[in-house]
Structure 1
Amino acid sequence: MTASANVAKALKGMHRYSSYGLSIQSDIVLPELAADTSDHKMDAPVVVVRNARISLDETTRAQATAFAFDETGATFWWQTVGRFHVSHDGCDVQVERAAGVSDDLIAFPLLGPVLSEVLRRNSMFVLHASAALIDEQGVAFLADKGTGKSSSVAALLRAGASLLADDLVALTPGAGHIVPGFSQIKIAPENLAHQLAGSDWVARPQVHDAIDKIRVLVPGAIVREKPPARRMYLLERGTGDVARIVPLPGAQALPAVLRFAYAARFGEGALRGADAGAHFRAAVDAANTIPVRRLILPGSLARLDGLAEVIRADLAQSEPR
């Protein structure tokens, strides 16, 4: 048992959640995550999220945002939110919030960049992407912020698909299965009116003026199994009225996967030595295992209702390998 697992065993009275195949014990209230009411399973990694004091040098403290990676793990700093430290084994997350910051605001970086590092250190390959299960087939949407990842997933959910993850897509190494995340998507306010699917979707209040997305809980939509990923779609915004899929030259698949790997957001310092090699091999496996396509979205995200049919038609095609 690791040192962090011993910490987990010793802590009592914490909130218990389950997400991305992890058993999470947390001092932070995280309503986005599914409650874990089962007895602890020895094969589910335990991750402890706890309030703690984290040392930070004055040079880093003076910056608005900073990341640091060393032999102890990874440290994240947002001046207006707080400090976070992920242990080397990815099983212990320390949180020191800035004065007056609520659990609701802490959840934004905790369930984004910080969680991505937890997943990577628990042997998953993490993409800046969103994913859904449509007709029992996993599809992932890779794109820069604001292109339409969450809106594309929402369109599939309205057409009967199930949610796998939003913003963080975790793949099992080698096999290329998508590990389910939690039942929330984030949608731009201007797209909210035509993205909500029904009364059970709950738009949550904004907690900071600088946050430009609305969190929407989609209860009951999350998948529990780990389906194989059948497609990765590189999203682009077009000018037409309907979505269309075009081929991507094979030589461009690996660069695309590496570009949208979540760790790439932290720069070269995040991956060193053996970690860098493992990351590259996981990207190669994903690019070789999962077909990659370009998906040109309509000029207006209000015109995504036909996206499911476009995806289904593409999935029905045999794949030349």
Structure 2
Amino acid sequence: MHRYQSYGLLFLSDIELPELSPAGPDALPEDGSVRIHRRAIELPAGVRDLPTWTAFGPEGVRFWWQTVGAFEVCDGGRTILVDPAPDVSDDLIAFPLLGPVLSECLRRCGYFVLHASAVDLDGQGIVLMADKGTGKSSSSAALLRAGARLLADDLVAIDPATGLIWPGFGQVKLAQENLSHQLPGQDWQARPQVHEQIDKVRVMVPELLARAPIPAARLCLLSRGRGEIPELSPLALQDRISAVLDFSYAVRFGKDGMTGDLAARHFQGAVMLARSVPLRRLELPCGIDRLDTLAPALRRDLDTQSEDRSE
């Protein structure tokens, strides 16, 4: 089996996942591992005729994408089963596997998972939350060019009890039209597209991945601005809780993913993060060419006393 290390977990996988960092033979204890197996998955009648389908249950969650196949997360997040559609490559399987499927694995392993990007800026974790097309990945790429290290792009996993952000894998997804501006050198490797409906390019930056968990210092809610420099402003506690819940990955699954004990732990985790980590509204400068002003603005904000931290 392939052995990988990501999000503080050891992954033992039947499927090759070059996005993840290889794990040495003694990297982590195998009794705390997540196992990824190719197995047949039973689905209800008619489901395989649908474009997509998701079902949550007390024992786990099952996913179906007609263009990729079926997936199941079970054993408290410690097992992921993959039942690929005919002639589907491992490269295409990785898109849902390292996205919504992995998000449920991490959530069931105790993490609070945000649909966001995160970087280690001078030893402090910066989380960037934004709607699609706002500039989340472009902003994290700008911070990497300014000396930050990548924690995660798309799936940010935080331990709500400690506030630590665990490093994911060394990849960012960038819009095709931004590649010429965003790729600073040969160390940033764009991977080929594998499906016509995927509108972003996967860019591998394994050497820029953080090597250890980093304490979350700022949660940033991004919006597009009209000025030449970024503007940061604090939010009230209730707005911070709402923002954390809105950008948690689990809300993408609707109310079915928010029931029982899992939903209660999810809300508790959101409140813990909103209370313990300052959240800023971050208005981005107008134009991708001005994103080099983002790192100085965040460093100035980090140097100030956080007036919005709540007990």
With the length of structure 1 as denominator, give the TM-score of the two structures.
0.93
Task: Give the 3-state SS of the residue equivalent to 1:105 in structure 2.
Answer: helix
Tell me if 1:79 matches 2:66. yes
Residues 130, 169 of structure 1: 8 Å contact kept: yes
Task: Give the 3-state SS of the residue equivalent to 1:245 in structure 2.
Answer: strand
CA offset at residue 300 of structure 1?
A: 2.1
Tell me if 1:215 matches 2:226. no
Q: 1:159-189, CA deviations, whole angstroms, 9 ceiling, x for partnerless residues?
A: 0111111000000122211011011100000
Q: Distance in 2 between matches of 1:311 and 1:304?
A: 12
Unaligned runs of 5+ in 2: none
User: CA 1:52–1:256 in 2, change beyond 3 Å: closer, same or farther?
Assistant: same
**For residue 227 of structure 2, what is the amino acid of its counterpart?**
G
Q: Which residue of 1 aligns with 2:221?
A: 234
| Farther off after superposition, 245-254 or 106-115 | 245-254
Kindly report the root-mean-square deviation, in angstroms, between the aligned alpha carbons of the 2 structures: 1.3
Q: Distance in 2 between matches of 1:123 and 1:314?
A: 30
Q: 1:91-102 alignment to 2 at 5 Å?
A: 91-102=78-89
| Farther off after superposition, 219-228 or 18-27 | 219-228
**For residue 40 of structure 2, what is the amino acid of its counterpart?**
R
Q: Distance in 2 between matches of 1:153 and 1:205?
A: 21
Residues 128, 261 of structure 1: 8 Å contact kept: yes
CA offset at residue 249 of structure 1?
A: 2.4
Tell me if 1:150 matches 2:156. no
CA offset at residue 39 of structure 1?
A: 1.8
CA offset at residue 269 of structure 1?
A: 0.9
User: CA 1:43–1:81 in 2, change beyond 3 Å: closer, same or farther?
Assistant: closer
Q: Which residue of 2 aligns with 1:279?
A: 266
Q: Structure 2 residue aligned with 1:246, among 233, 245, 265? A: 233
Q: 1:150-229 alignment to 2 at 5 Å?
A: 150-229=137-216
Q: Which residue of 2 aligns with 1:124?
A: 111
Tell me if 1:315 matches 2:284. no
Residues 130, 221 of structure 2: 8 Å contact kept: yes
Q: Distance in 2 between matches of 1:67 and 1:132?
A: 31
Task: Give the 3-state SS of the residue equivalent to 1:186 in structure 2.
Answer: strand
**For residue 54 of structure 1, what is the amino acid of its counterpart?**
I
| Farther off after superposition, 39-48 or 231-240 | 39-48
Task: Give the 3-state SS of the residue equivalent to 2:62 in structure 1.
Answer: strand
Q: 1:291-302 alignment to 2 at 5 Å?
A: 291-302=278-289
Q: 1:256-302, CA deviations, whole angstroms, 9 ceiling, x for partnerless residues?
A: 10000100100111122111111111000000011001111123223
**For residue 26 of structure 2, what is the amino acid of its counterpart?**
D
Tell me if 1:90 matches 2:90. no
Tell me if 1:34 matches 2:21. yes
Task: Give the 3-state SS of the residue equivalent to 1:285 in structure 2.
Answer: helix
Q: 1:95-134, CA deviations, whole angstroms, 9 ceiling, x for partnerless residues?
A: 1111111000000000000000000010000000100011
Q: Distance in 1 between matches of 2:304 and 2:30?
A: 37
Q: 1:142-174, CA deviations, whole angstroms, 9 ceiling, x for partnerless residues?
A: 112221111111101100111111000000122
Unaligned runs of 5+ in 1: 1-13
- Identical-pair percentage: 54
Q: Distance in 1 between matches of 2:145 and 2:239?
A: 31
Q: Distance in 1 between matches of 2:252 and 2:3?
A: 29
CA offset at residue 44 of structure 1?
A: 6.9
Task: Give the 3-state SS of the residue equivalent to 1:313 in structure 2.
Answer: helix
Alignment length (residue pairs): 308
Q: Distance in 2 between matches of 1:141 and 1:203?
A: 22
CA offset at residue 62 of structure 1?
A: 2.5
Tell me if 1:61 matches 2:75. no
CA offset at residue 37 of structure 1?
A: 1.2
**For residue 54 of structure 2, what is the amino acid of its counterpart?**
F
**For residue 151 of structure 2, what is the amino acid of its counterpart?**
L
Structure 1 runs (4+) deviating above 6 angstroms are none
Residues 191, 302 of structure 1: 8 Å contact kept: no
**For residue 239 of structure 2, what is the amino acid of its counterpart?**
Q
CA offset at residue 248 of structure 1?
A: 1.7
With the length of structure 2 as denominator, give the TM-score of the two structures.
0.96
Task: Give the 3-state SS of the residue equivalent to 1:288 in structure 2.
Answer: helix
Residues 71, 88 of structure 1: 8 Å contact kept: no
